Amino acid sequence: TTDAPADASLPAIRLRSLRKTFGEVVAVDSVDLDIADGEFLTLLGPSGSGKTTVLRMIAGFELPTAGTVELAGVDVTQKAPFDRDVNTVFQDYALFPHMSVQENVEYGLKVKKVPKAERRQRAEEALASVRLEGYGDRKPTAMSGGQRQRVALARALVNRPKVLLLDEPLGALDLKLREEMQVELKAIQREVGITFVFVTHDQEEALTMSDRIAVFNNGGIEQIGTPAEVYEHPATEFVAGFVGTSNLLRGEASRAVLGHDGVFSVRPEKIRVAEPGAVAGEGEDSALGRVREVVYVGSGTRYVVDLEVGGSLVALEQNQRSTSMDVMGMRGRQVRLVWRKEHEYRVG
């Protein structure tokens, strides 16, 4: 079959009722997902939640037990990896150590018998797009982790795929380099305009880079939305806890403090630490408690407060009370935590 003409209104990737079992293990369970053309979508979840298996089914390395994978409207479920307009960047880069950077990047084109002059030119463009112009003659072994990571990216981009799949590509880098590459990778994606599907278990990374995040748990998607939606309006207890500090009020605490039954989450940044005698204003809720822990975290101060009604909440205050003397004096003191009602989200 030949590919249908590209239709810009179609999602770049469409997964329908996707399922994968390995013997008794259900790795992926009825996943439905549309990924838009040019979108940066992250699959976020704990180890074993099924992210990599979904990515491998999009790439064609794994055949679904049930369901379909469409790329730009074409059903590719049964197609081999090389018959799909996608490329994958793995965590270990898999660069050829004996080849120069230029040869590494050209390799895929050579296999496809692209003429030498065109190969050279496209490899140079790909290296420029990852800000490695002039590095063509180096060996990967003479480069830093971040540079090697960018060579791996150039090697994928040189094929000009519609979709790039990235499986924890920054996992091997130290924290500082990782943070730099997060910004860099996002900028590169915006410039080249390719659809990125990015797998990570790191919530900070997902929040920093993504247009949308699909939060995985037990082989399924718990919630999908923009970073702000997922962070500020967690749909389930799992999402509240996995993306940020869950800060739950439940049972007697939610009845006494909020006046409702159910489980609610309030993000630490939304909570103010006040004197015990403070009165909650219009549209606010509050709870009395005792400070168990105070930690100065540079950008602010983090309090862990045990509530009188049971349970505890974390409050994160931006630098108002930031001298370490004051902070230490807060431990063991009674306080009133105050927040606006609109920052309470029902998660169960």
- Smallest gap from Cβ 30 to ligand ATP, in A, equals 14
- CA–CA dist 272, 316 (Å, integer): 8
- Smallest gap from Cβ 46 to ligand ATP, in A, equals 7
Selected binder of ligand ATP within 9, 47, 97, 277 (CB under 6 A)? 47
Interface with ligand ATP (CB under 6 A), residue total 12
- CA–CA dist 16, 22 (Å, integer): 19
25 binds ligand ATP (CB under 6 A): yes
Residue (77 or 129) nearer to ligand ATP, CB: 77
Selected binder of ligand ATP within 201, 212, 233, 267 (CB under 6 A)? 201
67 binds ligand ATP (CB under 6 A): no
Residue (38 or 171) nearer to ligand ATP, CB: 171
- CA–CA dist 154, 89 (Å, integer): 10
> Going by DSSP bridges, is the β-strand pair 66-71/13-22 parallel, antiparallel, or unpaired?
antiparallel
Residue (124 or 168) nearer to ligand ATP, CB: 168
213 binds ligand ATP (CB under 6 A): no
- Smallest gap from Cβ 45 to ligand ATP, in A, equals 5
Range 249-254, long-range pairs (CB < 8 A, 24+ positions) = 249/287, 249/311, 249/313, 249/344, 250/311, 250/348, 251/310, 252/309, 252/310, 253/287, 253/307, 253/309, 253/310, 253/311
Is the dihedral angle over the CA atoms 6, 11, 17, 19 positive or is it negative? positive
Q: Which amino acid is at 54?
A: V
DSSP E strands, the chain: 13-22, 25-35, 40-44, 66-71, 74-75, 86-89, 163-167, 195-200, 212-217, 220-225, 248-249, 264-265, 272-274, 284-296, 300-307, 312-318, 334-340, 345-346
Selected binder of ligand ATP within 11, 50, 60, 234 (CB under 6 A)? 50
53 binds ligand ATP (CB under 6 A): yes
If one counts every other C-beta atom within 10 angstroms of the C-beta of residue 176, the result is 9
63 binds ligand ATP (CB under 6 A): no
Selected binder of ligand ATP within 33, 39, 40, 51 (CB under 6 A)? 51
Q: DSSP letters of 104-155? A: HHHHHHHHTT--HHHHHHHHHHHHHHTT-TT-TTS-GGGS-HHHHHHHHHHH
- Smallest gap from Cβ 201 to ligand ATP, in A, equals 5
> Cβ(45)–Cβ(224) under 8 Å?
no
Sketch the per residue contact string, 280 through 319, with ligand ATP: x for CB under 6 A, - otherwise.
----------------------------------------
96 binds ligand ATP (CB under 6 A): no
45 binds ligand ATP (CB under 6 A): yes
52 binds ligand ATP (CB under 6 A): yes
Selected binder of ligand ATP within 31, 39, 49, 173 (CB under 6 A)? 49
Contacting range for ligand ATP; rule: CB under 6 A; set: 47-55, 102-110, 289-297, 326-334: 47-55
Selected binder of ligand ATP within 12, 13, 27, 257 (CB under 6 A)? 27
Provide the binding-site residues for ligand ATP, judged by CB under 6 A.
Answer: 22, 25, 27, 45, 47-53, 201
